[in-house]
């Protein structure tokens, strides 16, 4: 091989890139790097959006629960206020029932011979009793006045005895000892009654 051939081979092996090829390679490298950066940015942005969506959802749930709790609290406070308004005097009302009962007993037990002589006193007691009833009504305190033959109702009545009274139905009120009282829908004192336990002739009675 001649020296001339060696020089050509060395020139072929040591071929240098042209300036244009170098610039193209650099641009290609920049594009690849830019694409990778954009991909990383997109992934990061999607991750951040997912986290943000979760946070918004969590805050929304907390807000809904908070509003629900506040509404429940408002309703409970309103209910308690109304109950306090209606039932606030329950203890006093129970105490006044004994006063009402005592006036009734006093009127019932006045001797017939003394009624004319004690007429002003009797009228005074009756007037006081009526005024007390008027005060009761003003505060939604009502009498529970069962009737003979009425069905016993454990919500408002208290059975003082049971007796197999003929010609009655089982569970029927046969005697009334004391009327009851209630304040709105709350029992102050049950009406005290006697109840039939008679089980015969139900078919005829019906």
- The three-class DSSP label of residue 141 is strand
Q: What is the 3-state secondary structure (H, E, C) of 158-201?
A: EEEEEECCCCCCCCEEEEEEECEEEECCEEEECEEEEEECCCCC
| The dihedral sign for the CA sequence 26, 32, 37, 38 | positive
- 132: phi then psi, degrees, rounded to nearest 5: -65, -40
Residue position matching structure tokens 């008027």: 134
Summarised one tens digit per residue, pLDDT across range 131-169 is: 998 988 888 899 999 999 999 999 999 999 999 999 999
Domain range summary for the chain, segments of one domain joined by +: 18-84, 88-139, 141-206
Q: What is the 3-state secondary structure (H, E, C) of 142-160?
A: EEECCCCCCECCCCCEEEE
Per-residue confidence (pLDDT) for residue 139, from 0 to 100: 86
**Is 0.75 surpassed by the pTM of this model?**
no
Name the band, by pLDDT with cuts 50, 70 and 90, for residue 14: very low
Per-residue confidence (pLDDT) for residue 29, from 0 to 100: 59
Locate all alpha helices (DSSP H) within 88-110, ordered by sequence: 90-108
- 75: phi then psi, degrees, rounded to nearest 5: -65, -40
First to last CA, the chain: 140
Summarised one tens digit per residue, pLDDT across range 90-122 is: 888 888 898 888 888 888 888 887 878 888 888
Residue 21, strand partner residues: none
Pick the CATH number of 141-206 from 3.40.50.300, 3.40.1180.10, 2.30.22.10, 3.50.50.60: 2.30.22.10
Query: From its phi and psi, is residue 140 left (phi > 0), alpha (psi between -120 and 50) or beta?
Result: left
């Amino acid at each position: 091989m001649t020296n001339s051939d060696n020089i050509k081979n060395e020139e072929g092996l040591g071929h240098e890139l042209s300036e244009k090829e170098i610039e193209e390679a650099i641009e290609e490298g920049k594009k690849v790097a830019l694409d990778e950066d954009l991909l990383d940015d997109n992934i990061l942005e999607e991750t951040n959006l997912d986290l943000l969506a979760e946070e918004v959802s969590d805050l929304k749930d907390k807000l809904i629960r908070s509003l629900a709790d506040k509404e429940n609290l408002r309703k409970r406070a309103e209910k308690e206020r109304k109950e306090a308004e209606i039932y606030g005097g329950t203890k006093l009302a129970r105490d006044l029932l004994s006063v009402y009962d005592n006036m009734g007993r006093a009127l019932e037990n006045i001797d017939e011979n003394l009624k004319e002589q004690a007429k002003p006193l009797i009228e005074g007691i009756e007037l006081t009793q009526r005024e007390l009833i008027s005060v009761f009504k003003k505060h939604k305190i009502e009498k529970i006045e069962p009737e003979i033959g009425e069905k016993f109702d454990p919500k408002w009545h208290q059975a003082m005895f049971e007796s197999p009274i003929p010609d009655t139905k089982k569970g029927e009120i046969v005697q009334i000892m004391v009327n009851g009282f209630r304040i709105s829908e709350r029992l102050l004192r049950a009406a005290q009654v006697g109840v039939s336990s008679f089980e015969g002739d139900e078919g005829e009675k019906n």
